[in-house]
Amino acid sequence: MQMTHYMELLAVNQPWNLLIFMAGPVVLAETLAITELYLLFTHRVDGAVRQLNRIAGMIVGVYFAGIIVYLIPNAVVPITRAGAWRTAADVIAVGSYLLAGLPLIWIALQEFGMIGGSKSDHDKLRVHATCVAIFLVVGHIAMIFGMLNPEVFGFVPPDAMMNMDHGAH
């Protein structure tokens, strides 16, 4: 079975890539999501849960910004230049993974006071919840397409193409 570049990134350099590119961001984003639900249901905008929420939001936004800054020149650009994308599934998986980080970066910018400074605490939480929801949807799109065998979309591995060429002679 063939892998998308998304799955390949997570599979190589075990366990480090899995921890860096999946476990780290997901644990932080899930912490953000769980604390977000607590805050929305209790309407408590102060206390330890809010502090944990703020800290998780800041860390995950900065963390994901680092991932994006690292992956674009080190993965996206070289794969694109080489024409090595493994069908639309691959592009959707990698693109969605990178896009999923944008709402988390937005949360961090809000928590650092760089945007939305004049909004009420309730409005900030509403933005938080919306950003978390967008992250979850787009992140799951990345996971679904990332786990898909690109051959389902018509990808022919280079080895198979070479075998077809040799068999034709």
- For 84-140, the pLDDT digits (tens) are 999 999 999 999 999 999 999 999 999 999 998 888 888 888 898 999 999 999 999
pLDDT over 90 for what percent of the chain? 76
SS3 assignment, position 16: helix
What pTM does this model have?
A: 0.87
- How far is Cα 130 from Cα 136, in angstroms, rounded to an integer? 10
Tell me how far the alpha carbon of residue 100 is from its chain's centroid: 4
